[in-house]
A and B are shown apart, each in its own frame.
Chain A
Amino acid sequence: MYTVSELVPMSMENAGDVSAVADTTLGTLIIRANAKVLGWFFLVENTLTKGGTLAGTLSLKLNAVEIQTWNYVTSPAGTMVYVPLVDSLVCPPGYTFQMLVKTKPTGTGGTGNVRGFLSVMWNLDTPPAQGTGRQTGRTDW
């Protein structure tokens, strides 16, 4: 049974420091029980800047395959962006999600600190994932 209106953002395991030019993995989340993934959030904890002249990107990976990307320019601390999936995903146990931050390899390095979250509809009796820093919340849009 899925709840209809519950959006449960779950914290990835690590914040991502994007001060290095190279790609930074924010964290990994493994689905433990059937769950429907609707989208993903990221929260800018320290102002996010890009390196180089082009926009940087935040990406969502499913089982090591990039499925969605968000382009960013500069975002002040406290900014939250919710990116819905074009089609929601019904995920069995074992599916693995990762988020990455990429800054551009030209110019100066990007700076900032980002946290990523998944937005999941789930059976309240069987939490779909376990991990440190897990958050719960309800949003009615």
Chain B
Amino acid sequence: MQRLWHTESEMQRDGVSNGDISGGLATALAFYVPAFTEQIVGCMFRVVVPVVPGGGAPGTLTFSADDGLGGGPVPIARWTMVPLLIQGIYIYVPLLAAIAPIDDTWTLSFEVETASGGGADAGIVQGYVVKEIDLSDPSVIGPGIIYGRFSR
């Protein structure tokens, strides 16, 4: 994950969908099927509408991977949220170790879980997969792909 910041590597976000957490305890955001040989380095959450977890305890944002072998999704990155009251916040959470899905049977997913009990939850969150791309290959940069470059 450090190489994302210390090299000229690029990151790209993809697999976007909205998650409305106003009604339930756990809400799936997006499912993303990676392409072959992608190197997934982290995930990013964006607060579209300010998030207030109910129940008085922090909620969580979870990024999970399912290898398609029947074991179901396994959490690989998790962010504990206290109220996120400002619209437009981005949170990038790196994976402890990058994963390279071996084929397109893998599925990556996001989930918002708010604390049980207490008052109503509110907010809308978007989830993004963050992966490294090779800018020398223009085929990876297409319509709808948004990327940012960071250098130090």
Contact = CB atoms under 8 A, between A and B. Distances in A.
Interface stretch (B25-33, B78-86, B107-115, B132-140): B78-86
A81 B91 contact: yes
B70 interface: no
Contacts of A77: 1, 94
B147 interface: yes
Contacts of B2: 78
B80 A82 contact: no
Q: Is the interface of A mostly helix, strand, loop or mixed?
A: strand
A76 B93 contact: yes
Contacts of B77: 76
B82 A73 contact: yes
B150 interface: yes
A139 B148 CA distance: 5
B82 A79 contact: no
A86 B148 contact: no
A140 B42 CA distance: 18
Interface stretch (A25-33, A94-102, A121-129, A130-138): A130-138
A91 interface: no
A71 interface: yes
A15 interface: no
A78 B148 contact: no
Given A43-B5, A55-B82, A83-B86, A140 B91 contact: no
A78 B146 contact: no
B80 A73 contact: yes
B148 A81 contact: no
A68 B88 CA distance: 14
Interface string A66-80: 001001111111111
A92 interface: no
A141 B89 contact: no
Given A79-B94, A80-B92, A137 B146 contact: no
Interface of B: 1-2, 4-5, 42, 58, 77, 79-83, 86-94, 96, 146-152
9 contacts: A55-B58, A73-B58, A75-B93, A76-B96, A81-B89, A81-B90, A84-B86, A135-B152, A137-B149
Given A76-B96, A138-B149, A139-B148, 4 more contacts: A55-B58, A135-B150, A137-B149, A137-B151
